[in-house]
């Protein structure tokens, strides 16, 4: 039979496991490409290494109390996963805007990371985000943010409040804002091309400017894509670097003045 100490140690491991599994469920680069058993094994490992940082678990005297603790850990992991998803949604929004300006909205491809069909340019931009996370070492900071989350938001602490909801809405607005900034050169170039062909259509009515503009828009778009790929990487770098801090602010004190990543 389990002694009280063994049961307490078991609880200090199972709740980090639940939080880690909820987090991994929303991370794109481990969502669809990684089998479920591998994700469970990774969550077990994350729960094991986070176990020394877990403070004493609040005593639950009923099944409802245990269920509330489990639900809290699921919500906590989901909020941190949402903070990571924001960066990928920025890349997806930029890809949609650029694909629309390049007349590529009908050229959808299957994205193995999300398991859905997405515009042509959303997939490589999402892969660029994953590459930036691992090349810049941001994955170490994400791991540290997960472990530190048990210090600032222990098991059983109430972390979902009005300030958290407002912070989520503010951070979600960056999806459209940064995506539009990344696509701004393509919007401007498409406006110039469409304006030039509209003048050509008024000057020479016999020319089908609608069909003629498609290859020109695609050609100009790909030339501009090659010229601005570094600029788009810079736009994505700031949200990637801010992701660990965003993960912690999602679950605790979004209005805190001091960085939460600092012990």
Which pair of structure tokens corresponds to residue 221? 């778009």
What is the model's pLDDT at position 169? 86
More confidently predicted of 173 and 65: 173
pLDDT category of residue 90 using cuts at 50, 70 and 90? very high
What is the model's pLDDT at position 5? 43
Is pLDDT above 60 for 257? no
What's the rounded mean pLDDT across residues 188-212?
Answer: 84
Asked if residue 256 is part of any domain, the answer here is: no
Asked if residue 258 is part of any domain, the answer here is: no
Asked if residue 193 is part of any domain, the answer here is: yes
Asked if residue 257 is part of any domain, the answer here is: no
Is pLDDT above 80 for 112? no
More confidently predicted of 61 and 236: 236
pTM reported for the whole predicted model: 0.84
Of the candidate ranges 8-17, 48-57, 86-95, the one whose mean pLDDT is the lowest: 8-17
What's the rounded mean pLDDT across residues 27-56?
Answer: 78
Domain count for the chain, please give it: 1
What's the rounded mean pLDDT across residues 83-88?
Answer: 91
What is the model's pLDDT at position 115? 66
Which residues form the domain of 90? 4-251
Average pLDDT score over the chain: 81
């Amino acid at each position: 039979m389990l002694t009280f100490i063994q049961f307490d140690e078991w609880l200090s491991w199972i709740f980090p496991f639940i939080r880690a599994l909820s987090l991994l469920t929303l991370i794109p680069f481990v969502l669809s490409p990684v089998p479920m058993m591998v994700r469970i094994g990774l969550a077990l490992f994350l729960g094991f290494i986070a176990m020394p940082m877990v403070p004493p678990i609040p005593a639950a005297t009923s099944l409802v109390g245990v269920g509330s603790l489990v639900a809290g850990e699921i919500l906590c992991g989901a909020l941190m996963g949402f903070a990571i998803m924001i960066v990928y949604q920025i890349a997806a929004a930029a890809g949609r805007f650029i694909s629309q300006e390049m007349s590529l909205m009908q050229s959808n491809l299957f994205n193995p990371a999300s398991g859905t069909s997405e515009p042509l340019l959303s997939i490589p931009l999402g892969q660029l985000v994953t590459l930036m996370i691992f090349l810049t070492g941001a994955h170490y900071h994400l791991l540290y943010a997960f472990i530190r989350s048990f210090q600032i938001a222990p098991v059983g602490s109430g972390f979902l409040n009005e300030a958290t909801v407002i912070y989520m809405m503010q951070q979600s607005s960056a999806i459209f804002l940064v995506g539009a900034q990344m696509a701004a050169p393509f919007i401007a170039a498409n406006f110039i091309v469409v304006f030039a062909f509209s003048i050509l259509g008024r000057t020479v009515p016999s020319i089908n400017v609608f069909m003629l503009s498609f290859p020109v828009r695609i050609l100009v778009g790909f030339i501009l894509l090659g010229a601005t790929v570094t600029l788009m990487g810079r736009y994505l770098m700031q949200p990637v670097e801010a992701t660990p801090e965003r993960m912690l602010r999602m679950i605790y004190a979004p209005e805190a003045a001091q960085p939460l990543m600092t012990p």
